Structure 1
Amino acid sequence: MPQDMPPSGGYEPVQYRRNLPVRGFRPAYYLLGVAGVMVYGFYRFGKGIREQNELAREKMWSRIHLIPLLQAEEDRDQVRRFYSQQALEKELLGAETKAYNSDRFVRPTYAVTPSRVTK
């Protein structure tokens, strides 16, 4: 009996790969896209921090420039209260009484100040 031999020209190549179409982009493109989004986010974040620092600086300087005005307003209020208390005292007691030996105006302190302890 004769032995089977391969056909002349050989067998066709065996297809062991699957020919599936590639879906989506290459991974490098996804990586570049994510890196681009992150760079843009960090840029906007830094820009926002600079803006906040500038607003805080502006707020601080506006408060510094308002201090003399607020101090003058507080002084006027203190003097008004002092004279109204003097008028009330004169109305109630009938005469002006002095608690101190001086006519100099002394700003009242409302805060509780602890006594100095020395050792």
Structure 2
Amino acid sequence: MSSDIKFQQDMPPAGGYKPIDYKRVPAKTFFSGWALIGGYLGMTAGAAYLYYLNCKAVRARELEMRSASLAIYPMLLAERDREYLKQLRRNRDEESSLMANVEGWKTGTWYGEPIYHTAPPNTLINPKYVEYYVHSSFKDFSERANMAWLS
């Protein structure tokens, strides 16, 4: 069966193959090394100038906001302290109205006995956190105590 097929070997073309190129072919240069360094320095200088202008504008805005914040800060502290004292007054008035029918009850004491024996008279005693919000809604207390998920 295989006797019908004639075997033929591949041979090189007539005249041989072309010579193999093995010499280095340098890439085409568009810019010299000095031109690349100069371009890099120019781009860096331009970017630094634009960064400086941006920082200058941001600094001016921050300065204005900081000045406004410093100007309004004492007023905000005074308003906070005023609201704190108003809430203490509301707590005291609420205690007075709740305990109006109890005999021997004096507001700010425990049945006439002072709670703080060592405090001089007319001294502000800061209440505990829960006592401060005792007559407020639970929603207000939970929001202030970072427990908003409970309300």
The answer, yes or no, to whether TM exceeds 0.5 is yes
How far the C-alpha of 1:70 sits from its partner, in A, is 0.4
Q: 1:39 to 1:72 in 2, by over 3 A?
A: same
With CA pairs under 8 Å and 6+ residues apart, which has the higher RCO, 1 or 2? 2
C-alpha distance in 1 between matches for 2:96 and 2:128: 23
Which runs of at least 4 in structure 1 moved beyond 6 Å after TM superposition? none
Q: What secondary structure does 2:30 align onto?
A: coil
C-alpha distance in 1 between matches for 2:71 and 2:77: 11
Q: TM-score by structure 2 length?
A: 0.46
1:73 pairs, out of 75, 79, 91, with 79
Unpaired segments of 5 or more residues in structure 2?
1-25, 109-113, 130-151
- What whole-Å deviation, never above 9, does each CA across 1:71-107 have from its counterpart, x for those lacking one? 2311331232022101111022215424576456x37
1:97 counterpart = 2:97: no
Q: Tell me the equivalent position of 1:8.
A: none
* Counterpart AA for 1:108: N
How far the C-alpha of 1:55 sits from its partner, in A, is 2.9
Residue correspondences, number: 90
* Counterpart AA for 2:126: P
**RMSD (Å) for aligned C-alpha atoms:** 3.1
1:30 counterpart = 2:36: yes
Q: TM-score by structure 1 length?
A: 0.56
Q: 1:31 to 1:25 in 2, by over 3 A?
A: same
2:126 pairs, out of 96, 104, 108, with 108
